[in-house]
A and B are shown apart, each in its own frame.
Chain A
């Protein structure tokens, strides 16, 4: 048992910290620090800077821009990025479709898609959930039928995050309705968003934001070379993808930063002297420490890049703490939190501090965290079944 990072690991952390705090434009980092979105350009600009330095897709195979890092190095990279308020590489590209194409795609698909996916020249979105297939994803009914070499795609996807920016969508669709098990008849297709028959309808969320969409497919013709891997093997690729999604989903660094910011406001306003409030901070800081240490423990023990089964703990607890921190921020804002619409129009129309204005929309928005990426109930199911054998 040893506490310290090795000399190499410390140097690596320093290198990451320096890069993130000097190479990413201050204005982008300030925007994130203030709790705002940086928009499409900010995300693209950041990912391209990271990609030029070889820091966008370290989890990919080396020949496609990945780095042969240890799990701990990957963890440090991810944490330092969050602490520096750097928008992370787009998850749909870097953590989802990229690794799937790299692992299961044809050589032609790799050459065609991986470089622009790493560089965010293509913005991907995820076509998984459907109105009737949420947690029970394998029951999906969007279908693709053969027409010569092509596929004809029909159906509807939903909760498509940032689909409004997307150039391409990766779609799970049913290609064998007769398969014995529902998981067996599913394939993984790539589809341009500007293909004829694809329409996108935005969904407004409870915080007033528009980040998810419905996507409709009506007789969309998809060329046969856009099928990833084998026909009817899509479910195993999806499981691979969801395993990757879960590992990065515990936002330890970002939550630490958020909690420190809330604490600073509490201190500045003298509220930290309230022992009840102070006790809440102590409790959350301690849980967050336990979570971070668990993340470190899990990366240290994960072999051959496979997610540790305990990664469900990270998702479950990580999102709970993330939500609790956002709740504390609204509590601290109190009635000031109602000024959420200030600044939307012409800037200076409110004297209320920025953090208080964004606190309630952030709190409402983060209710999603325990639903996405495999709802927390699904994570409990995984822990009970896979780990505890219940």
Chain B
């Protein structure tokens, strides 16, 4: 078992870190003020660096990298709360096309994502909190999906409807966009007899051509859960760093705050949460990167990592604000952004309560949880 990155992965991490280093609170605030809620120039630079095609096969125009590389990149996004939708567009929406699309669809869409020309959005949720909202009638869709992250900016919408997946031209839909609490954008998307292409190849029966797309989507969701978990880990790491630095510089009662044990002990507990999270999240990446592990085990590992992220993200995010005091409440200061993003990640692709329920269903099928296969 080896938790360390190799030299290429370290180089990738450093390159992404270097590219995103300008994202302090002020710059992030300026960028997210205007639509589409992220920096289009940065998106192009990410494309040039190969980040937007990272997990796709070389045949499809991507880099052919694995989960480790995806996790490394996501963690750097989380560290500075970069607003560019790497996990949403590349890992999740792109991942679904990679898993379910026909050869032709993969080439076109994944190639477009990799080059930065196509921004995809995944329309899964409906306004009631479920995953329905849209009905299928022949080659058209009717109904509402919301909230769709980056839905208004997206060139291509991947729609989950009646257990199947479809591709829809973003421009062919009626979209209203608004700000999300973490600085991003989401949309309500209305479909009204909107033309839709099933995702997938009729010859293989995968994706939207009749078979249940839920199963194929599960593995992509696991990959996105683990990527989110790393993004959250990066955010938690930053939140603790900001907090410890604040405790040593901020003075009250004539002394710096780190003289108060009630505060330093709470920072110590944040560190404990962070390190436990780092371990389980890195482990989940290794499980997903391992070809010998079954899809069920991978999904379980992703759920375990995200459950820990849910707990630790709340703990660290809440404490980071409290230990900062009033300044932690301001949009001018990063700690609130980190906590907002942690809150968003917690509620995407399964929160702690849902994942607990999922894991509880398998509870009686084993004695102990074994980290090693």
A to B contact number (C-beta, < 8 Å): 149
Residues from chain B with a CB closer than 8 A to the CB of A259 are 368
Is B180 in contact with chain A by the CB < 8 A criterion? no
Most A CB within 10 A of own CB, among B4, B307, B368, B372: B368
Question: A290 contacts B279, CB within 8 Å?
Answer: yes
Answer whether A390 and B371 are a contact pair too, CB < 8 Å, given A281-B360, A294-B276: no
A267 to B365, CA, bound (A): 10
Contact mask A365-390 → B, CB, 8 Å, 1/0?
A: 00000000000010111011101111
Residues from chain B with a CB closer than 8 A to the CB of A384 are 258, 264-265, 267-268
Is B217 in contact with chain A by the CB < 8 A criterion? no
Answer whether A1 and B5 are a contact pair too, CB < 8 Å, given A289-B280, A293-B280, A380-B265: yes
Output the nearest chain B residue to A310 by Cβ-Cβ distance.
Answer: B275
16 additional contacts, CB 8 Å, given A4-B292, A291-B276, A293-B279?
A2-B1, A3-B287, A260-B367, A278-B360, A279-B356, A281-B360, A286-B308, A290-B277, A290-B279, A291-B279, A296-B3, A301-B3, A316-B272, A383-B268, A387-B271, A390-B247
Pick from B244, B269, B280, B287: contact of A290, CB below 8 A: B280
Residues from chain A with a CB closer than 8 A to the CB of B282 are 1, 293, 297
Interface residues of A (CB under 8 A from B): 1-5, 72, 256-257, 259-260, 263-264, 267, 272, 275, 278-279, 281-283, 285-294, 296-297, 300-301, 310, 313, 316-317, 377, 379-381, 383-385, 387-390
Interface of chain A, main secondary structure: helix
Answer whether A256 and B368 are a contact pair too, CB < 8 Å, given A1-B289, A313-B275: yes
Output the nearest chain B residue to A294 by Cβ-Cβ distance.
Answer: B279
Q: What are 6 A-B contacts defined by CB distance under 8 Å?
A: A1-B6, A260-B368, A282-B360, A294-B275, A294-B276, A294-B279
Residues from chain A with a CB closer than 8 A to the CB of B360 are 275, 278-279, 281-282
Question: A3 contacts B244, CB within 8 Å?
Answer: no
Interface residues of B (CB under 8 A from A): 1-6, 9, 68, 240, 244, 247-248, 258, 261, 264-265, 267-269, 271-272, 275-280, 282-283, 285-287, 289-290, 292-293, 304, 307-308, 356-357, 359-360, 363-364, 367-369, 371-373
Nearest CB on B from A48, distance (A): 29
Most A CB within 10 A of own CB, among B271, B292, B304, B371: B271
A310 to B282, CA, bound (A): 17
A278 to B353, CA, bound (A): 12
Residues from chain B with a CB closer than 8 A to the CB of A287 are 276, 308
Answer whether A272 and B1 are a contact pair too, CB < 8 Å, given A286-B304, A389-B248: no
Question: A388 contacts B356, CB within 8 Å?
Answer: no
Residues from chain A with a CB closer than 8 A to the CB of B275 are 294, 310, 313
A384 to B359, CA, bound (A): 34
Question: B271 contacts A2, CB within 8 Å?
Answer: no
